[in-house]
A and B are shown apart, each in its own frame.
Chain A
Amino acid sequence: AQSVAQPEDQVNVAEGNPLTVKCTYSVSGNPYLFWYVQYPNRGLQFLLKYITGDNLVKGSYGFEAEFNKSQTSFHLKKPSALVSDSALYFCAVRDMRSSNTGKLIFGQGTTLQVKP
């Protein structure tokens, strides 16, 4: 079965420190992977994606993610966290089982708390 796991419900970091939000996946074939961010009482905003090519993907707001095929992981990273990065982060993978859908399979989400 295709699935996405975010093993941490919450990640706490101090402002200025590097942050990592973890994501692992299980899919058949090559994965299309996405990270979204949700600020309080808002919809989901796209951050970045991995489709193919360079394993290090750069996205919005200084975020990047590293695709690791052998570990089936797609961890979200940022070199220096900001208080304004505090939000709920979702990892997602495209459902590749059907050729005519764009379905996304989401992880359960990780709350990032950045403290001053």
Chain B
Amino acid sequence: NAGVTQTPKFQVLKTGQSMTLQCAQDMNHEYMSWYRQDPGMGLRLIHYSVGAGITDQGEVPNGYNVSRSTTEDFPLRLLSAAPSQTSVYFCASSPKDRQVAQYFGPGTRLLVL
């Protein structure tokens, strides 16, 4: 099992550009989520999905879109990048059982100039 994979590892964007951060898991997990990590703020939930075709907003959804067409994939789209979106982005997955820990990907470091 590859677990949770994320691409790219690092990306530099100019303000106003768009891009998609990829996330995939091979554990057949129903639940997937995107977090951003900023210094001193822990991890904040951007969007999440409880299954294919079902997504919902988290704590900080503005400027981001998601879709879940398959169980395996959960891409995060930045529509028009802003410097405030400079951050490290983590994708996570878990079974529906809330007693089970989430598995995290290695992260994508994004710099918006």
Residues in chain A within 8 A of chain B (CB atoms): 9, 32, 34, 36, 41-46, 49, 51, 90, 94, 96, 100-104, 106-109
Contacts and interface: CB of A to CB of B under 8 A. Distances in A.
Contacts, number: 63
Interface stretch (B12-20, B60-68, B73-81, B96-104): B96-104
Interface of B: 4, 31, 33, 35, 40-45, 48, 50, 56, 58, 90, 92, 94-96, 98-99, 101-107
Nearest to B41: A108
B103 A32 contact: no
Top-5 shortest CB links A-B: A106-B42, A102-B31, A46-B101, A44-B104, A43-B104
A34 B101 contact: yes
Contacts of B41: 108
B110 to A, nearest CB: 14
A107 B42 CA distance: 6
Given A43-B106, A43-B107, A109-B42, A100 B99 contact: no
B100 to A, nearest CB: 8
B11 to A, nearest CB: 15
A93 B105 CA distance: 19
Contact of A103 (B58, B101, B103, B104): B58
A9 B33 CA distance: 26
